[in-house]
Amino acid sequence: MKSYDAIVIGGGHNGLVAAGLLAKAGKHVIVLEAGDRVGGGARTVEFHPGYRTSGLAHLVNRLAPEVVGELGLDPSLFAGEMAPTVVLDSETGPAILRGAYGEAIDGVSPGEAIAFGRMRAKLMMQAGILGRFLAKRPPRPGETGLGSLVDLGLAGLGLIGKGRDEARDFARMALMNVADIADEYLEDDRLKGLLAFDAVLGIHLGPRSPTSLLGLYYRLTGTALGARGGQFLPRGGMGSLAEALERAAIDHGAEIRVNAAVSRIFSAGGRIEGVALADGEKIASTLVVSAIHPVATLRRLLAPGDIDTGLSISLKNVRSKGDAAKLHLALDRVPDFAGVSSADARGRLVIARNVRHVEEAFNPAKYGEFSADPVMEITLPSLVDPSLAPPGGAVLSAVVQFAPYELREGWEVGRPKFLAAIMGALERHAPGIGASVVASELLTPVDIERRYNMPGGHWHHGELQVDQLLLNRPTFGVAGYDTPIDGLYLASAGSHPGGGISGLPGRNAARHILSRRAA
């Protein structure tokens, strides 16, 4: 039986980051990836001959600078042009946020631009305080060591340093819904619609659901191109980022095996012993880092009885049903979005007219249905990297929010109807786009689950809601990357701080493991 110092299950970007850091620390590491390529949700795919795009994640807005620095990645690989956000409105024309999340805004009144600036400054300051906790292991009760106390103290001081009113306002706002905050500051429906959309993207909440502001805070804790709230479309699609992480892991000495699905995790006497692959091969290690969905790790791969009933039940109750679909269109020409210049079309286009539009798109999802008037985020990656489409053609990549994992009528029946609803919305903003479609691919959460081995097809490998955060992420008892099995750790988006292409769960887990083993 082969043996390694460390086995990493899953070659998504978090698995690659964890593997790279463990290998850099001198460990003999193997990454076992079920798919035929690494990258997970950060792969670039060819969905029609000659047309390539980011398979799931298409915008970089939170890759952690710590990951780039600690793995020694070439920062120029993660450079790009700051993408504007264009909120489409076929009646009034678009509102355009420039710089990092609207440092300047076009298409709104001067008074509204000032109001947005005030709100932006407030949210950025608050997100900056929350952001301190992202690149760290979450605090755990009973284990509140000096480090955690210092972090909490610094966060508190950070707030107090802003003045008593700011501290009070933060306590007031933190668990509010995004719609009420948008109403407090703004008049413009398009700006309110954007905030509502961004707060719930990838999460099963509507903008009027309590605590929905947290999703926007999470979005704004991310940095890109050196700026909080920044975003860009990577050249070559998100796969170029995964390839850089793969190269770094290999350069640091990690081995990578694809087509190697792990089907069992072995332990004896509460200690990890290794894993078995689907073909029966066994690989031994006293350290297994699982960078796949935490519930799959602990409830499917471990033998029944390896974890106690209480933990098993709380894992069963982790909410992880995806709510976002992914659309890819191969087009024979560049679409023309009304009122959007060709320079701005290189950014992110959002269809979310107002808060009500987003809320009404959420409502049917509660009952296993989709809206006939969906909300979505659109990119045209081939405008940034023409090699992604044949000459003259274009690729459209859209994340369509509120596509329930469990569709009442079933996705076989529902998919063509949902595609027609999405195309109807696109046609309203880019007349003629339907006639330019060469091929389309619509991935529902069920398709995402199958294609990416991502249970529930969930953006974050588990809802990013207040009861599933920090010391409860993925659930109490297995927060902070540890599990009850000595030597088995969690490291995917399902662990703190959550999903998106940040690399932080993988990085934090690797650092925790190394610090424990050094102690």
Ligand X SMILES: Cc1cc2nc3c(=O)[nH]c(=O)nc-3n(C[C@H](O)[C@H](O)[C@H](O)COP(=O)(O)OP(=O)(O)OC[C@H]3O[C@@H](n4cnc5c(N)ncnc54)[C@H](O)[C@@H]3O)c2cc1C
Using CB under 6 A as the binding rule, whether residue 448 contacts ligand X is answered as yes
Q: Which stretch binds ligand X (CB under 6 A): 22-30, 178-186, 343-351, 448-456?
A: 448-456
The window from 160-168, 246-254, 429-437, 498-506 that contacts ligand X (CB under 6 A) reads 498-506
Exactly one of 454, 469, 478, 485 binds ligand X (CB under 6 A); which one? 454
Q: How many CB atoms lie within 10 A of CB 279?
A: 9
Instruction: Identify any residues that bridge with 266 across adjacent strands, giving them in sequence order.
Output: 274
- Fill in the DSSP letter of residue 169: H
Rule CB under 6 A: choose which of 6, 13, 108, 197 binds ligand X.
Answer: 13
Query: Residue 42 interacts with ligand X (CB under 6 A)?
Result: yes
Residue 237 and residue 381 in contact, taking contact as beta carbons nearer than 8 Å: yes
In whole angstroms, how close is the CB of 377 to ligand X at the nearest point? 8
509 belongs to the binding site for ligand X (CB under 6 A) = no
Determine if 415 is a binding residue for ligand X (CB under 6 A): no
Q: Could you say which of 78, 411, 452, 481 contacts ligand X (CB under 6 A)?
A: 452
Tokens describing residue 248: 């770094």
Q: How far is the CB of 399 from ligand X (least distance, A)?
A: 5
Query: 129, 179, 361, 501: which one contacts ligand X (CB under 6 A)?
Result: 501
Query: Binding to ligand X by residue 230, rule CB under 6 A?
Result: no
Q: Note if the bond before 474 is cis, omega within 30 degrees.
A: yes
Three-state SS for 91-136 is CCCCEEEECCCCCEEECCCHHHHHHHHHHHHHHHHHHHHHHCCCCC
Span interacting with ligand X, options 53-61, 75-83, 121-129, 331-339, rule CB under 6 A = 53-61
Q: How far is the CB of 509 from ligand X (least distance, A)?
A: 10
Spatial separation of the C-alpha atoms in residues 10 and 478, rounded to whole Å: 19
Contact 9, 292 (CB under 8 A): yes
Question: β-strand 51-54 against 44-48: which pairing, if any?
Answer: antiparallel
CB 318 → ligand X: shortest distance, Å? 15
Residue of 7, 59, 67, 490 interacting with ligand X (CB under 6 A): 59
Does 41 sit near ligand X (CB under 6 A)? Answer: yes
C-alpha angle with apex 31: 29 to 32, nearest 5 degrees? 140
| Beta bridge mates, 104 | 98
Using CB under 6 A, pick the residue from 122, 219, 326, 511 that binds ligand X. Answer: 326
94 binds ligand X (CB under 6 A): no
DSSP state of 478: S
Buried b / exposed e along 64-98 (16+ C-beta atoms within 10 A): bebbbebbebeeebbebebbbbbbbbeeeebbbbb
- State in angstroms the smallest separation of the CB of 518 from ligand X: 25
Contact positions toward ligand X, by CB under 6 A? 9-15, 32-35, 40-42, 56-59, 61-62, 202, 261-262, 291-292, 322, 324, 326, 399, 448, 452-454, 459-460, 492-493, 499-501
